Structure 1
Amino acid sequence: MTELPRIISVDDHVIEPAHLFETWLPKKYRDRGPKPLTAGIGELAYVGGKYQITMDPKGPPTDWWIYEDLKFPYKRNIAAVGFDRDEMTLEGITRAEMRRGCWDPVERLKDMDANHVEGSLCFPTFPRFCGQTFAEAHDKEVALACVRAYNDWMVEEWCGDSGGRLIPLCLIPLWDIGLAVAEIRRNAARGVKAVTFSEIPTHLGLPSIHSGYWDPFFAVCQETGTVVNMHIGSSSQMPAASPDAPPAVQAALSFNNAMASMMDFLFSGVLVKFPRLKLAYSEGQMGWIPYALERADDVWEEHRAWGGVRDLIPEPPSTYYYRQIFCCFFRDKHGVASIDVVGRDNATFETDYPHVDSTFPHTKEVALDHVEGLDDETVYKLMRGNAIRMLDLDLDRDLDHLGNRDHLGARDTLSSRDKADR
């Protein structure tokens, strides 16, 4: 391998700019929509796997969103790039203290260039990983307007002038399947190929994927080629062994929800019913996948009669994984060592910018350390090729393995800024 291909990261994050809803939410909803505020933050407590957060006028200045009865602060661990490792704490932070690439798309592109990254798919922060903030809101009319405003901002402002390098990832109104289908169609019409969804919807009080409730959503995603992206924590619940365990236990177990979600899908019949639907697991790493597939196939072979899947799942579950599911990694040498079982066509790469786990600005070195000894074709697939195929990006499929192009293809969008003023 003469040079590492330019990376397409399928899991990064964006800190929403303070003007987002003032600019993109229609005027009639702005008084009831999210509002930015800078105020002091009190001591953060971590109890039973959840953070307890208070405002304190005497506390360190922090940027917040105020929305209905929610007070949402930004913390250093989610805007950690630029800080020393021991400074990546749960303390509050303002946008002025963050590296500007956290929320400014022009500066993000510069950081991507410095980090050997060509393309980036970014998950939300204030809306939470799959839009739980709006799903939990009382006024669903305003919440729907917020979902649409976020998506318009994501497509047209965050991604719009990036030459396609910033890849749109949109939300759906989780509380209404009809509205969710409509939002997928609205965004697909302007070239969006990715939506974020909950890894375990029942943890959010929503119907399970076994119920059939989500079938219209899966059907429209299949029809439009929209990838269903599920980030660890997108069920608002992270694994923890004990209620008084430190957050480090939660961090070490974070892949567990991805594993549970994948088993749910493999035995649900969803992938049988929708054979072109694509699922992507974000930030779950991949070293656990070989045994998970082995166990799933063993259960199917030995226990399918009493296990309720004899007539539901006609082939070994691993069949559907290799056909329709993508994983991603950034620190997982065990997964790379097992790449033949994980799937050379199933694994993608991420940088997790700007979170505490991010490999920025050393992503090239981290990636090279992981792919040492792999053939050029596999390295190309892991660093960018599988992401191009997964997201149907407008890139030459025969692009040389050096990945020298400066930009992804430009993406046409429809303007919504004028609609926000109606």
Structure 2
Amino acid sequence: MTELPRIISVDDHVIEPAHLFDSWLPRKHRDKGPKPLTAGIGELEYVGGKYRISMDPDGPPTDWWIYEDLQFPYKRNIAAVGFDRDEMTLEGITREQMRPGCWNPAERLKDMDLNHVEGSLCFPTFPRFCGQTFAEAHDKDVALACVRAYNDWMVEEWCGDSGGRLIPLCLIPLWDVDLAVAEIRRNAARGVRAVTFSELPTHLGLPSIHTGYWDPFFAVCEETGTVVNMHIGSSSQMPAASPDAPPAVQASLSFNNAMASMMDFLFSGVLVKFPQLKLAYSEGQMGWVPYALERADDVWAEHRAWGGVRDLIPEPPSTYYRRQIYCCFFRDKHGVASLDAVGRDNATFETDYPHVDSTFPHTRQVALDHVQGLDDETVYKLMRGNAIRMLDLDLDRTPAEYRARTVAGH
């Protein structure tokens, strides 16, 4: 390998600018829509796996969103780039204190250039990973307008002038599958090929994927080529441990939600019914995938009669994983060592900018450390080729095409 290909990161994050809803929400809804505010933050409490946060006029200045009865602060760990490791805390932060690439698209592109990244798919922050903030709102007319406003901002402002380098990732109104279908169609018509969804919707009080309720959503995603992206924590619940365990325990177990969700899909029949549907697990890493597939196939082979899937899943579950599911990684040498079992066509790469886990500005070095010894074609797939195929990006599909484009100066 002479040079690491420029990376397509399938999991980054955006801090929403203060003007988002004033600019993009219809005027009739602005009084009830989210409002930006800078105010002091109180001391953070972590109790039973959940954070308790309050305003304190004497606390450090923090940028908040105020929406119905929600007070949502930005914390340093979600805008961590530029801070030393020991400064990446749960303290409040203002946009002025953040690296501008957190919320400014032009500055994000500069940081991507510094970080050997060509393309980036960004999850939301204030709406939470799959739009739970709006799903929990009382006034659903305003909430629907907020979902649409966020998507308009995402497509037209955040991604609009990036030359395709910032890749739009849109929300759906989770509380109504028919509205969700309409929003998928609206965004697909303007070229959007990615939507965010909950890894475990029942944790949000929504129907499970086994009920058939979400079939119209899966059908329209299949029809439009829209990838269903599920970020760890998109169920608003991290894996359980002792109620008094420190946050580090949750952080270490975060892949468990992705594993549980994947098992749900593999045995649901959804991937049988919708054979062109594409699922992507974000920030879940991939070292766990080989045993999960081995166990799923063993259960299917040995226990499918009493396990309730004899007539539902006609082939070994790993068949559907390899055909339709993508995982991603950024610090997972065990996963790379198990790449044949993970699937060389199923793994993608991420930088997690600007979160505390981000590899910025050392992503190139981190990636090289992981892929040393792999052949050029595999490195290309991991760093960009699989992401290009997954998201149907208008970019080169092979290493030869990439080299030709690079030599031509494009």
Q: TM-score range by the shorter chain?
A: over 0.9
Whole-Å Cα distance in 1 between the matches of residues 101 and 377 of structure 2? 31
**Could you tell me which residue of structure 1 aligns to residue 113 of structure 2?**
113
Amino acid at match of 1:114: L
Q: Deviations over 1:117-146 (max 9, x none)?
A: 000000000000000000000000000000
Residue type at the aligned position of 1:116: H
Q: Is the 8 A contact 1:6 1:402 kept in 2?
A: no
| 2:272–2:320 contact (8 Å) kept in structure 1 | yes
TM-score, normalised by the number of residues in structure 1: 0.96
| Deviations 1:202-258 (CA, angstroms, capped at 9, x unpaired) | 000000000000000000000000000000000000013111100000000000000
Q: How does 1:59-138 map to 2 (within 5 A)?
A: 59-138=59-138
Cα RMSD of the aligned pairs, angstroms, is 1.4
2:385 and 2:398 in contact (8 A); partners too: no
Where do 1:370-389 residues align within 5 Å? 370-389=370-389
**What per-residue deviation string (whole Å, max 9, x for no partner) do you get for residues 264-317 of structure 1?**
000000000000000000000000000000000000000000000000000000
Distance 1:123 1:49 in 2: 22
Match of 1:233?
233
Higher relative contact order (CA 8 A, sep 6+): 1
Paired with 2:363 and 2:375, the residues of 1 have a C-alpha distance of: 19
Q: Distance in 1 between matches of 2:25 and 2:106?
A: 22
- For 1:62 and 1:34, locate their aligned partners in 2 and report how far apart those are by CA, in whole Å: 16
Q: Distance in 2 between matches of 1:136 and 1:383?
A: 36
SS of aligned partner of 2:280 = strand
> In structure 1, what residue type is equivalent to 2:95?
R
Distance change in 2, residues 1:279/1:327 (3 Å):
same
What amino acid does structure 2 have at the position aligned with 1:306? Answer: W
Which residues in structure 2 correspond to 1:295-334 (within 5 Å)? Answer: 295-334=295-334
- CA-CA distance at 1:49 after TM superposition: 1.1
Which residue is equivalent to 1:40?
40
User: Cα distance 1:375–1:399, how it changes in 2: closer, same or farther (>3 A)?
Assistant: closer
d(CA) in 1 for partners of 2:221 and 2:396? 24
- Any residues of structure 2 matched to 1:76-225 within 5 Å, and which? 76-225=76-225
The count of residues paired between Structure 1 and Structure 2 equals 409
In structure 1, the gaps of 5 or more residues are: 410-422
Cα deviation code 1:17-36 (max 9, x no counterpart): 00000000000000000000
Q: Which residue of 2 aligns with 1:56?
A: 56
Matched, 1:251 2:229: no
* Runs of 4 or more above 2 Å deviation: 396-409
Amino acid at match of 2:97: E
**1:356 is paired with a residue of what secondary structure?**
coil
Structure 2 length normalisation: TM-score? 0.98
Equivalent pair of 2:76/2:89 in contact (CA under 8 Å):
yes
- Using the TM superposition, give the Cα deviation of residue 408 of structure 1 relative to its aligned residue in structure 2, in angstroms: 12
Q: Retained in 2: the 8 A contact 1:119–1:408?
A: no
Task: Give the secondary-structure state (helix, strand or coil) at the position aligned to 2:134.
Answer: helix
Amino acid aligned to 2:156: E
Is this contact kept in 1: 2:346–2:386, CA < 8 A?
Answer: yes
Uncovered stretches (5+) of structure 2, i.e. residues with no partner: none
Maintained 8 Å contact 2:76/2:88 = yes
Aligned residue identity for 1:182? A
Cα pair 1:163 1:407 within 8 Å, conserved: no
8 Å CA contact 1:231, 1:283 repeated in 2: yes
* Paired residues of 2:377 and 2:399 also in contact (CA < 8 A): no
